[in-house]
Each structure stands twice: as structure tokens, then as C-alpha cells.
Amino acid sequence: MKKNIYGILRGKFLISDDSFKNWRIIIFISFLAIIMIASSHSADQKVYEIANLTNEVKELRSAFVDKRGKLMQLKKESFVEAEVKDKGIGISLNPPTKIIVKSSKSKK
């Protein structure tokens, strides 16, 4: 058993006559390790991208709510009245009237 451990530490399994099958296993395991590392990095990158996009969506939603609130304020009748009062425009005392136009059909 001591010889086996000493042989592994010295690397005799890599240079012996039947070392070809050992090299195939080592290369295959190394290839799988590289694929696993690449997959892990790809997954981490996607997690960071999702986190950044989530923060951007929150910021845009907040900006949307803020702008919508400002729009609601600008659409209020009292705000419009205060803005145009400087120009001498006021609220009409007479309610609007509906104008109906009747078209006359000419007979031939």
C-alpha cells in the first residue's frame, strides 16, 4: 500500500506502459471541470444581469408614478385656472352650448 501511494505521488501511473487509459480519464475529467466552471460563470453573469434589470425596472416604475402624479396635478381645473389667470383668462360664467348643424339634402 505504501508503494501504491508513493507511486501515485511520483506520477508513475502517467508514464507506465498502460498510461494511455489514465491520460484519457484525466483529460476527460479536466474537460468536464472546464465546462462546469464556464457554466457557473455564465449563471453568475445572468444573476447579476437580472439584479441590474430589476433595479432598473424599479427606478423606471418610480419615475412613471412620479410623472403620473405631476400630470394629474397639471390636469386639475384649479391649477389650469391659476396658470391662465395671469393672462387675464377666467372661467366662463355661461355654460357651453351645443351647436347643431342640419344639412339639407337637395332633391334631384
pLDDT tens digit sequence for 15-45: 777 777 778 888 999 999 999 999 999 999 9
Q: What is the mean pLDDT of residues 6-13?
A: 75
pLDDT band at residue 11 under the 50/70/90 scheme = confident
Over its C-alpha atoms, the chain yields an Rg (Å, rounded) of 40
Query: In this predicted model, what pLDDT tens digit does every residue of 82-97 receive, in sequence order?
Result: 888 888 888 888 888 8
- What are the φ and ψ backbone dihedral angles of 98, each rounded to 5 degrees? -90, 130
CA dihedral of 23, 25, 31, 37, whole degrees rounded to 10: -120
pLDDT band at residue 107 under the 50/70/90 scheme = low
**Distance separating alpha carbons of residues 54 and 67, to the nearest angstrom:** 20
Q: Indicate the range of 22-31, 44-53, 62-71 predicted with least confidence.
A: 22-31
Mean pLDDT value across the chain: 88
